Every structure is written in C-alpha cells, then in structure tokens.
C-alpha cells in the first residue's frame, strides 16, 4: 500500500476523532479528501500527510529546517535518548492502565513518538507540528500507523476528551487545547531541558547556562497538577559523525558554522513531568 492509501485507511478508521480546524464540525473521508459538512476540504498528500490548520500561510522558519529534522532523526535513532523513552513508557504505564491514544504536540519528525509507541499497544497515534518539513519526514511512520498532520497546537483538530496521553517533548503547548482534548484521567508528558542539557555545545558556543527551568515549572504549576517529576542526566562519548548530527539538530547552533564545533561527548539532561490539567 502507498503512504497515501495507508493514511486514508487510518483517517477512515479514526474519522470520529477529528474536527475541522475552521468550524469544529466532524470530518470524514470523501474520495481522497478530509471534508466537513461546511465543505471545508483538506487534501491528502501523496506523501502520506495532510494540513489540518486554519492558518492561511505556514510559518517559514529559518531555524526548524529539513536539515535540522534529518539530523535529529539520526541522533534519536542512534539511541541517545533511549533512557528517556524507557522512563516515559514506564510513566505512561504507571498512570494509565490501558492507554489507547496518544498525541505528540510539536512532534518534529516524530522519532521520539515512534520509539515510545513501539513499546505500547496503542490504537490511535497522532503527531502534529506546524513545520511542513518535519511532518513530511514524520509521514514515514504511517507504516507504524502514526497519523502525521501539519496542525497548530493552539487549534488541535481533535474532538474533546479523546486522548489518554499528550506527549510534549521540548515543544510549546497550549493549556486550553490540551485540557480540552484529554480524557478525564489523561496525562501530559512534558519533557523539559535542564541547565546541563547539551552543555558541551553551549560551552563551545560561549552561551550562558540555560536557567529558565524554575520559571517554566512555576508556570506549569499554575494550570496543572504535577503528578510526578523525573530527572535523567547522562553523558555519552560520541564519534565524529554523531557529533555532526548533534550540532545540526539543535536551534542552539543556528547561524554558527557547525563544522567548527568539535564535540567528543554529549550530556543529555532532561526533566520529565507528568501533568494533569486543572
């Protein structure tokens, strides 16, 4: 089956989950489009994804480029984040006895989501991001039943109370939309960087330490119950090839000549918060 045929099958199966980003009416497959009763029509791309956004034009980011996402995929698939994925899987199992649905908001190219889904028998798996280049790569995971959408976290095209787990891996989230689409006992897995995250790159670039951690957590506390927090920190040796991908995968090196950076080891230091919206 082609990627387009696969996504059409998935959208037919889960059409009850989707709403039109313009008018919030339900969507259904008509020929090869997703259409609502008000005739808002979203074409399904032959690459296996679709744009479900009400924005008239997509942001043209010079930071979140195809090259960044390709490098990120290579780093994630090299196993650098495996311990983080194991922890996230354990937390999902701990808080939701039988999780059936997951949405990754600001998914990028979706390799984190794909790795996490490999170990959970979920039914509905969806990734949204506003960066078209990211979602184009993400659509490769349609072979693992992941639905990839160009969509805005501020206007999520999913029905109310439909999702068990929202994954928010280093991305912006919308408190209103997350609360709306989560089931009553649903959770948000929020992954945040700590001061030591990629510290070898910050050091080489002469950046100050990242010190937003407390501010971000204080803001999250205003709208969520923090059910649990886990911090994982580890430093790994890396070879030249992986080092090249790591420096290219992060917005930190935007506007720098990445070939000048010489990183021999890398620190992953992330906080995983389990949140329930208030």
**Residues lying near ligand SAM in the complex (CB under 6 A):** 64, 72, 106-108, 112, 128-131, 134, 152-154, 169-172
* Residue 13 Cβ vs ligand SAM, minimum distance, rounded to whole Å: 24
* Residue 130 Cβ vs ligand SAM, minimum distance, rounded to whole Å: 4
* Residue 81 Cβ vs ligand SAM, minimum distance, rounded to whole Å: 9
Q: Report d(CA 59, CA 159) in Å as an integer.
A: 25
* Residue 172 Cβ vs ligand SAM, minimum distance, rounded to whole Å: 5
* Residue 107 Cβ vs ligand SAM, minimum distance, rounded to whole Å: 5
| H/E segment holding residue 134 | helix 132-138
| H/E segment holding residue 77 | helix 66-77
Q: Given the complex with ligand SAM, which of 8 and 80 has the nearer CB atom?
A: 80
CA angle (198, 204, 206) in 5-degree steps: 100
Instruction: Choose among 270, 265, 271, 233: nearest CA to 246.
Output: 265
Q: Given the complex with ligand SAM, which of 8 and 52 has the nearer CB atom?
A: 52
Q: Could you count the other beta carbons within 10 Å of the beta carbon of residue 275? A: 25
Q: Given the complex with ligand SAM, which of 91 and 153 has the nearer CB atom?
A: 153
What lies within 8 Å, CB to CB, of 77 at 6+ separation is 111
Query: How many CA atoms does the CB half-sphere of 53 hold within 13 Å?
Result: 20
Q: Given the complex with ligand SAM, which of 35 and 171 has the nearer CB atom?
A: 171
Q: Given the complex with ligand SAM, which of 14 and 197 has the nearer CB atom?
A: 197
Q: Given the complex with ligand SAM, which of 122 and 130 has the nearer CB atom?
A: 130
SS3 content of the chain, % helix, strand, coil (to 5): 35, 30, 35
Q: Given the complex with ligand SAM, which of 8 and 169 has the nearer CB atom?
A: 169
Exposure b/e, 77-103, CB count within 10 A at least 16 = b: ebebbeebbebbbebbeebbeebbbbb
* Residue 7 Cβ vs ligand SAM, minimum distance, rounded to whole Å: 19
Q: Cα-flanking dihedrals φ and ψ of residue 125, to 5°?
A: -130, 120
* Residue 194 Cβ vs ligand SAM, minimum distance, rounded to whole Å: 15
Q: Given the complex with ligand SAM, which of 60 and 239 has the nearer CB atom?
A: 60
CA dihedral 112, 117, 122, 123 (to 10 degrees): 70
* Residue 131 Cβ vs ligand SAM, minimum distance, rounded to whole Å: 4
3-state SS assignment for residue 251: helix
Largest CA distance in the chain: 56
């Amino acid at each position: 089956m082609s990627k387009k045929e696969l996504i059409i099958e998935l959208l037919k199966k889960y059409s009850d989950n989707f709403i039109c980003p313009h008018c919030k009416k339900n969507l259904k497959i008509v020929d090869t489009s997703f259409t609502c009763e008000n005739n808002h029509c979203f074409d399904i791309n032959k690459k296996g994804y679709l744009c479900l956004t009400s924005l008239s034009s997509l942001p043209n980011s010079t930071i979140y480029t195809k090259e960044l996402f390709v490098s990120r995929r290579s780093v994630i698939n090299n196993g650098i984040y495996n311990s983080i994925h194991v922890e996230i899987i354990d937390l999902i199992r701990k808080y939701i006895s039988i999780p059936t649905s997951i949405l990754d908001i600001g998914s990028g190219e979706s390799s984190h989501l794909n790795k996490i889904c490999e170990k959970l028998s979920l039914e509905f798996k969806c990734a949204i991001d506003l960066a078209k280049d990211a979602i184009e790569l993400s659509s490769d995971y349609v072979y693992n039943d992941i639905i990839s959408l160009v969509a805005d976290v501020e206007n999520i095209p999913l029905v109310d109370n439909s999702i068990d787990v929202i994954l928010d891996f280093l991305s912006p989230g919308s408190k209103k939309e997350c609360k709306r689409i989560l089931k009553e006992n649903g959770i948000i897995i929020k992954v945040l960087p700590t001061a030591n995250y990629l510290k070898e790159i910050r050091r080489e670039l002469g950046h100050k330490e990242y010190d937003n951690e407390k501010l971000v957590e204080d803001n999250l506390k205003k709208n969520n119950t923090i059910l649990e927090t886990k911090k994982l920190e580890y430093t790994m040796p890396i070879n030249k090839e992986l080092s090249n991908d790591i420096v290219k995968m992060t917005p930190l090196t935007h506007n720098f000549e990445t070939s000048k950076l010489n990183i021999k080891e890398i620190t992953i230091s992330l906080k995983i918060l389990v949140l329930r919206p208030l």
